[in-house]
């Protein structure tokens, strides 16, 4: 095992472990929430694409799930812009367009099973049907609502994987094949450490940011 695994193991002996475990419980409990809350969390993940998670969290706190479901396009655009978030026009439009799935049975609330296959299929559905969600954002959403077997390959995770020699280069863009290939390497790393992808993601994110966010 390399430097990365040593660092993760050290963090598991620290107070960071308590915060990681608390976050995982929050994600698991989110699975019990209603369809509109799930939609609000999906909108948060739309906002994180090519943008800062902290800013997306502030927007989510202001709008709440209700606002994501009901605010008109101009109001959404104005709120996103006010927080100096990137791509406010597109992000607002993606949110409004995604509303058609909020109250449809077997869509947002019931797209995933607990098994790995179900989670992968749910991600495929999200990428295909929700504008603004790529593989990273769809994986992020599924993790936040309690499904822990997919990798969120954001820049922090990719940088650490490159620094540790797990990948040769950090992709500038993702095809499905490339994403799944790196995800498998991430999953293998998690397995070596005796944890799931969701848990490893939180430790690695902390290593780059100093925070355990969602």
Spot the catalytic one: 36, 107, 136, 214: 136
Cα–Cα dist 151/59, whole Å: 24
Cα–Cα dist 73/49, whole Å: 19
Spot the catalytic one: 36, 91, 109, 154: 154
**Comparing C-alpha atoms, which of 81, 96, 119 is closest to residue 197?**
119
Joined together, the tokens standing for residue 77 give: 């655009």
Cα–Cα dist 99/36, whole Å: 10
Distances (CA, A) of 162 to 1, 73, 190: 15, 40, 16
**Comparing C-alpha atoms, which of 103, 65, 64, 60 is closest to residue 83?**
60
Q: If you search the block for the tokens 């949110």, which residue do you land on? A: 95
Cα–Cα dist 213/191, whole Å: 22
Q: Is 17 a catalytic residue?
A: no
**Comparing C-alpha atoms, which of 66, 80, 57 is closest to residue 35?**
66
The answer to whether 48 and 41 have CB atoms below 8 angstroms apart is no
Q: Is 154 a catalytic residue?
A: yes
Joined together, the tokens standing for residue 22 give: 């608390």
> Which residues belong to the active site?
136, 154
């Amino acid at each position: 095992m390399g430097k990365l695994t040593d660092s993760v193991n050290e963090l598991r002996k620290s107070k960071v472990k308590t915060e990681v475990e608390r976050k995982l419980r929050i994600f698991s409990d989110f699975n019990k929430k209603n369809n509109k809350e799930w939609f609000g969390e999906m909108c948060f993940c739309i906002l994180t694409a090519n943008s800062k998670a902290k800013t997306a969290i502030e927007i989510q706190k202001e709008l709440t799930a209700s606002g994501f479901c009901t605010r008109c396009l101009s109001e959404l655009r104005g709120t996103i812009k006010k927080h100096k978030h990137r791509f406010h026009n597109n992000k607002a439009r993606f949110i409004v367009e995604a509303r058609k799935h909020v109250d449809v049975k077997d869509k947002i609330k019931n797209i995933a099973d607990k098994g790995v296959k179900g989670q992968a299929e749910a991600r495929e559905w999200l990428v295909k049907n929700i504008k603004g969600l790529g593989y990273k954002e769809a994986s992020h959403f599924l993790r936040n609502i309690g499904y822990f077997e997919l990798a969120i390959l954001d820049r922090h995770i990719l940088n650490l994987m490159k620094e540790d020699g797990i990948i040769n280069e950090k992709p500038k863009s993702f095809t499905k094949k490339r994403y799944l290939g790196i995800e498998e390497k991430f999953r293998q790393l998690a397995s070596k450490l005796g944890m799931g992808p969701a848990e490893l993601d939180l430790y690695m994110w902390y290593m780059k940011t100093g925070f355990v966010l969602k």
